Chain A
Amino acid sequence: MQLFPCPFCGPRDETEFHFGGEAGKVRPEPAAEVDAARWSRYLHVNANPRGATREIWVHATCGEFFLMERDTVTHAVIGSQSLRGEQR
C-alpha cells in the first residue's frame, strides 16, 4: 500500500487517490487547427517511462489535482507539488 503526498493534506494512503494522467501534456487547440496525428498523440500516446515519471493525480478526499514525481520501478515517491507550485 503506497503513501502519496498530497501537497495540501500530506501523506495519505493510495486508496484516497486517483490517477489523472501523464503530466506535461498541453491540450492542442483550437480544434480546427489540430491535425489528426497531433490530437491522437494528445489522446493516446504516453511515454510510460521505466523509472522516474511525472504524473497528475487527484487526492479524491480533498479534490486537489497535483503533480507527482515517482519511480515506476521502485514505486518510490520523489515528490509532489500543487498545480500552482506549492511543494511537498
Chain B
Amino acid sequence: MSPSRIVNPAGTTIPFTFDGRPYAGVAGDTIASALLANGVRIVGRSFKYHRPRGIWGAWTEEPNALADVTLDGRTTPNLRATTEPLAAGMAVRSVNAAPSAEGDRGAFLDRFSAFIPAGFYYKTFLWPDWHLFEPRIRAMAGLGRLDPDNRPAADWPQINATCDVLVVGAGPAGLAAAKAAAGAGRTVILIDDRPQAGGSLLHRGGTVDGMPGADWAATIAGDLASAGHRLLTGTTAYGIYDHDLVCAWQRRPGRADAQWKIRAKRIVVTAGAIERPLVFADNDRPGVMSADAALYYLRRHGVLVGSRVVVAANNSSAAAVAGALAAAGAAVTLADLRADATAPAGVALRKAAAVEAVHGRRGVEAVTVGGERIAADALLVSGGWTPTVHLFCQARGKLRYDDRRAAFVPGDPVAGMAVAGAANGRFSLAEALAEGWRAGGGEGAAPVAGDAEAAFAVVPAWPKAGAKGRQWIDLQNDVTLKDVALAARENFRSVEHLKRYTTLGMATDQGKTSNMNGLAAMAAITGSSIEATGTTTYRPPFVPVPFGIVAGRRRGQLFNPVRRLVLEDAHRAAGAVFREYGGWLRPAWYGAGSEAGEVAREASLARQTVGILDGSPLGKIEVMGPDAGALVDFNSYSTLSTLKPGRIRYGFMLTEGGVVYDDGVVSKVSDEHYIVSCSSGHVPGVAARLEEWRQDRFDPARVFVHNSTLQWATLTATGPRSRQLVAALDLGIDLSDEALPHMAFAEGAFEGRPARVARVSFTGERSYEVSVAVSQAHRLLAAMMEAGRPLGAFPLGSEALLLLRAEKGYLIAGKDTDGTTMPHDLGVTGPRDKRKDEFVGKRSLATDNARDGARRQFVGLAVDGCEPLPTGAHGVDRSGGRTRSIGYVTSSYFSPALGRPIALGLIERGLSRLGETVEIVHLGRALTARIAAPCAFDPDGARLSAPDGAIAVGAPASPRTVAAAITPPFDRGRRWAPIPDWRSAGLFRDGWTAKRVLGLGQTLVSGRLADAVAALAPGAAEVGLFGIAEGAPQLVRIARDRALVVRDEPSDIAAAVGGAGFVATRADDVFAVFELGGPGLRGLLAEMVTADLDAGSRSAATLACGVPVLLYRTTVDRARLHVEAAFAAYLWRWLETRP
C-alpha cells in the first residue's frame, strides 16, 4: 500500500499538478504532504545518476524533493516541496527528470555509475577542452531549470529592527527563552521559520506547565504579542554578519516577502536539531524516510506514510514515532541498534538490530533486519540528531564533539550569544525548557515538562570503512561511501577538500543531512577521530534565499538614484530628450528629429544666435572665512587668492599623485569668500576633499565649506546674441566688456532677489551664466525665452554643448584625461614651474615619471574626408618591428561649424609633434590622422568678446510630428516618472501620510553655533536624530560645527553672511522637506533608515533610502525629512511605490 491520508479535514480541496498529472491536496498541505497523501513515492531523480528518489524529510533539510513550481505564470526553480505551502493551480515539476520522475529517460545512467565516480568528469573531459563537453553534461546532470522569462516581484522591503533579545527558533527552548526575557523587561523578537510557533511541541507532543505542549506554545506566543514583542513566523534567520547583524527572510502570506535586518543586544539560538540518516546499502530508495518526518506528516497533515513500517534507529527518539504510527493503524517493527532498547505497546521490537538490505528498486518492498526479511512499504530511519548550530558557527563559534550525544555541539560561548535546547545537544523536552529559560535570562523555576521522559540515549552508528553496497551519504549530490574513500585515496582528506572534490554538502541543502555522515566516513576511512576531522565552514545563507530579498526595492528607478533638475518639467514641455550626465538627468537635445540632426542644429545655432542651457548642476561650493584663500589655493593647481574680487579663474584640482581630478572655475567674491564651480559630476567629491583638508590641515574655526549647488539655478546664455538677451532681463548689471569682461562676475537682482551673472564660456562664444534662487528658476527661464524670442534664442542640450566645447579644444576631466594625465600633459605648466607654496599633488609633478619625455599629451586630431574617428581608437607606432599603442582618441565629432570631423586625444609626445601624421587603428581598420592643436575653431578666441551678433540666422530645422526613434541611454522622458507637482502631491496610506512642506526658511550655519543662533534665530531649539522639536525656529544639528536653522517662513538673510566665528548661507532650496506622519510612522521609517532611531544621536543627518537626509520630529508621530533637493523626486517615488 502507498501512503495515505487518514484524517480528512473538512473544507475544499486544492487542485495541483505534478509532472503534468492532476492531484488534490487540502488546506495546510505542503507540496510534499500533498504528494504523500496522493501516494506519489518517486518525486525526483538524483543529480548525477538519475536514481528514483522519494521524500526524506519534512522541512528545510530535504535533499531529494526539489521541484520547479509554476504559479500565476511565474516559475521558481528548486523549491523544497517540504517547505512550500500548496496553492491552488500550482504546476509542480520534478527536477532532473524527463519526461517525469516516474518514467525518466536518464535512468540508464545509473547502470554506468561504477564508471562515473566523484571527479570523473574533470578527469575525463580534460582534452581538448572541458567547455566542449560541459553543455551536454549539464543537460544530463543537475537540478531545476531557470526560467529566463522569470520576473520576480520588485517590491520586497527591507526592514531594520533593534531589540534587547533576539530568539531564533520558537520551539520549547526558544519559547522559554522569550518568556524569560520578556518577563525580565527586555524587548524581544522571536523568529521561527515555520508558519506557527511551537517547534517540536506541535508534532512530538508533550505537556508543559500542565498544558498540552501546543496549547502552551500558543499561550506564550499570544502573551508575547499582546505585550508588544515581535513574533515573526514564516521567517528564516538565514545569516549573521559583521557586528552581529542578523538577516532574516520573512514570507508574508498575501504580501511581498521582506528582509529583516536585526540588531540585538543578545542573541539566543534555539534552532533545534535535524535528524540524521543511517548509512546502509540502498538507503536512498523511495520510502526510506526520516522517522521524525513520518511523525510530522502524521500529526500535522494526517498522512500515514505506510501501512507496514520498519523503524530503524540508534537512539531513543524513534520509539515515540513507532508507537504513534502503530496507534494510527500501521504494522510497525522497531529495529534499534541499542541492546537495551524498549518499544511502546503494539510495536514489534528487534534489539541490537541493524538494517542489512532494502528490497525494491523503485520503492521499499521489504527490509532485511538481523537476517529476517520483513515486508514493508516504508523504512523510517533515525541515525541521531545534528544540532542546528549554523548561526553560532557563522559568528565564529567553535564546535566540540560530544560522544555521548553523537553530535557536534557549541564549544566556548561567543560574546552576546547563547545556544540552548536541541541546538546545544539538549534533546529532551525538560532539558530544552530549562536551558532556554536560563538563556533568556530567566530566574527561578523554568517551565516544567509534564511527562516523565526518559533521558536521551544514543549509540553512535557511523559509516564503516569498506562497507559493501551503494551506501549513500549525500542524497542531493549523489555521493556514496565509495566516493569518500576515493577522495581519501587521492589525498583529498581534509573535509574542505572532500567537499570540493565530491560535492558532498553542496547545493541547496548544504549537507544538512549528509555532512555529519560524510565527515564520520572520512574519519573512519583515515583512522582519525570525528573531532579531529572536523566540519566544513558554516556560511550564510542557512537556506537558499531569493535574490529579491537581498536586492530589496533597489531596482528600476530606485536602483541608483539620479539627481533631477528643478526645471525638468519645462524641459519636457520643450521636447527634451534626456540622458544621465554625471549623476544628473539632463536634456541631451530638444526636438523630435534624429539625434544627429537635432544636435547639429543646436550646435550651428549656438554660433549664430543664442542658446539657453540649464547649467544648474554645475558646482557652487562656497569657501568662506579668514583662511578661505589659503584653502582654495592649497586645493588648486593655480593660485586663486591673487584674483581681484569679482574675477574668475580656470584651473585644475589634482590628486596627491599629481593627476588631474577635476577642472573648473573659481570666483572670488572677497578675500574671505570664494565659489568653487567644479564639474557637475564631481560636486560631492570636491566638497568632500575641501572638507577633508579643512579639518586635517587648516584651523576649522577659520574656514568653512558650504555646498550651495542646489540653492541656485543657473541658466547659461551662450552665443553671439547672449549679451542682448541678458541685457533684456534688466538685472541691474553693467554688461559692457569693460565692466564685465570675460572671466568676471557681477551681482545683480532678478525680480528683486539676488542674482549673479558670471562670464565664463564652455562654447567659445560670448556667454553669461545667470544664477538665481531655485524658487525663481521657472520665472527666469520664462523671462529668458521671452527676451530671446526676437533674437532667435533656443534651448540648448548637453550633446551640442559637448560638441561645441570639443571644437574649442576644451577638455572634460575624466573623458579627455585619464588616471595618468597631469596638468603639463594638457600644456599648463605655469604653476608647476613658478608656484613656491604647497598645493595638493605638487611633489608628484617633479617625479621621474612626471618628467618623462614620452608622456601622452592632449592634442587635436584632424582627418581627411568626412568620417569622424571612432572614440577610443588607438594611435599605434610600428617602429622597431613591434606594434604598440601611443595613445587614443578621447572625443570625436563632426563639426557643423567647420564642415569636417574633429577629434581630441591623448598621444605620446603629441604637443611636440604638431602636424605629424599618426596611424590610428580601430577594430582592425587602419586610419590616419594629423596631430593638431586641440582648438580647431576660432583659435585666437575672438568670438569670446566679439560684438553682439548680427550673423544671419540659419534655417530652423523642419518641425516633425513623428518622433524619431532613439535608443538608450537617451530617453524621451519615459523611463523616469515625471517630478510631481509638489503643491498638490500627497500620499494617504493605511497608517501613514506624506506630503512636501513648501515655504520653510532654511539657513545653513557653520562655526560657533551658539553665536550663530544668537544672531540669526534667538531661542531656536536644538534637535538631533528623530528628536522632537516643537515650535519654531529649530536648530537642526548636522555636525560638530554645523546646523540648519529652520523657520516657518523663507529666510530673509542675504545669500551668505559671516559673523564672528560663524558663517551662514541661504539654503531654502538646498533641501526639499517632507512631512511624514501617522501611527505607521515607525514602520515606514524602519524601511527607510538604518540608524537606530532610539539611540539619541546628536546629529539629525543620516541616510534614508540611501540618500542624505536630516530627520527629526515636530510631534510624537510626525517627522520631517530634509532631503537633498535633487533627490526629492527619487524619495517621493520610493514612498509612492511602497507596497
Contacts and interface: CB of A to CB of B under 8 A. Distances in A.
Given A8-B1039, A63-B1042, A1 B261 contact: yes
Given A29-B838, A62-B1038, A12 B844 contact: no
Given A12-B1102, A36-B848, A63 B1039 contact: yes
Interface in B1072-1099: 1090-1092, 1095-1099
A52 interface: no
B255 interface: no
Contact of B1103 (A42, A61, A75, A83): A61
Contacts of B263: 3
A43 B1091 CA distance: 34
B854 to A, nearest CB: 19
A51 B384 CA distance: 41
Interface stretch (B55-63, B238-246, B438-446, B806-814): B238-246
Contacts of A43: 656-657, 844
B1108 A75 contact: no
Interface string A13-39: 111101010000001111100101001
A74 to B, nearest CB: 8
B838 A65 contact: no
A83 B1039 contact: no
B1008 to A, nearest CB: 15
A29 B243 CA distance: 40
A1 B1101 CA distance: 19
A81 to B, nearest CB: 12
A83 B847 contact: no
B730 interface: no
B1092 to A, nearest CB: 7
A42 B842 CA distance: 13
A61 B1101 contact: yes
Q: How large is the interface on B (under 10, 10 to 19, 20 to 34, 35 or more residues)?
A: 35 or more
B578 to A, nearest CB: 28
A63 B687 CA distance: 10
B245 A65 contact: no
Contact of A2 (B242, B838, B1106): B242
Contact of B243 (A2, A28, A31): A2
Contact of B1101 (A9, A30, A42, A74): A9
B1097 A10 contact: yes
Interface in A29-80: 29-31, 34, 36, 39, 42-43, 56, 58, 60-65, 74-75, 77
A20 B692 contact: yes
Contact of B1099 (A28, A62, A75, A82): A62
Contacts, number: 97
A8 B1040 contact: yes
B943 to A, nearest CB: 39
Contacts of B696: 56, 65, 83
Interface in B660-716: 688, 691-692, 695-697
A20 B656 CA distance: 13
Contacts of A1: 241-243, 245, 261, 1090
A36 B695 contact: no
Contacts of A64: 695, 1039-1040
B1039 to A, nearest CB: 4
B846 interface: yes
Given A9-B1097, A20-B692, A39 B1091 contact: no
B1090 A13 contact: yes
Contacts of B838: 29-31
Contacts of A11: 1092, 1095
A39 to B, nearest CB: 5
B500 interface: no
A36 B688 contact: no
A9 B843 contact: no
A29 B241 CA distance: 43
Nearest to A16: B1103
Interface in B810-852: 838, 842-844, 846-848
Interface string B223-254: 00000000000000000011101000000000
B1102 A61 contact: yes
Contact of B1098 (A10, A18, A58): A10
Nearest to B241: A1
A20 B688 CA distance: 11
B1044 to A, nearest CB: 12
A61 B1097 CA distance: 12
A30 to B, nearest CB: 6
Interface in B757-809: none
Interface string B1013-1048: 000000000000100000000000011101000000
A27 B697 CA distance: 10
A15 B1103 contact: yes
Given A8-B1099, A61-B1102, A34 B691 contact: no
Contacts of A77: 243
Contacts of A83: 695-696
Nearest to A35: B843
A10 B1093 CA distance: 12
A34 B261 contact: no
Contacts of A20: 692
B988 to A, nearest CB: 30
Contacts of B1102: 12, 16, 61
B1099 A13 contact: no
A75 B242 contact: yes
A82 B1101 CA distance: 17
A31 B842 CA distance: 7
Most buried by B among A34, A60, A62: A62
Contacts of A42: 656
A77 B244 CA distance: 13
Contacts of A63: 688, 691, 1038-1039, 1042
Contacts of A58: 688, 691-692
Nearest to B841: A31
A11 B1042 CA distance: 19
Contacts of A60: 688, 1108
Contacts of B1040: 8, 62, 64, 82
Contacts of B1091: 12-13, 16
A60 B657 CA distance: 23
B396 to A, nearest CB: 8
Interface in B1039-1081: 1039-1040, 1042
A56 B1092 CA distance: 24
A36 B847 contact: yes
Contacts of A15: 1090, 1103, 1106
A18 B684 CA distance: 13
A18 B411 CA distance: 37
Contacts of B1042: 62-63
A34 B842 CA distance: 11
Nearest to B1108: A61
Interface in B186-244: 241-243
A62 B1037 CA distance: 9
Contacts of B844: 39, 43
Contact of B691 (A10, A27, A65): A65
Given A34-B843, A65-B696, A9 B1090 contact: no
A77 B24 CA distance: 56
Contacts of B1103: 13, 15-16, 61
A10 B1095 CA distance: 8
Contacts of B691: 58, 63, 65
Nearest to B160: A13
Interface string B395-413: 0100000000000000000
B1099 A31 contact: no
6 contacts: A8-B1099, A10-B1098, A12-B1090, A43-B657, A75-B243, A77-B243
The 10 closest A-B pairs by CB, nearest first: A13-B1090, A31-B843, A62-B1039, A61-B1101, A9-B1099, A1-B245, A31-B842, A2-B242, A39-B843, A62-B1099
Given A11-B1092, A31-B842, A39-B847, 4 more contacts: A9-B1025, A13-B1091, A65-B691, A65-B692
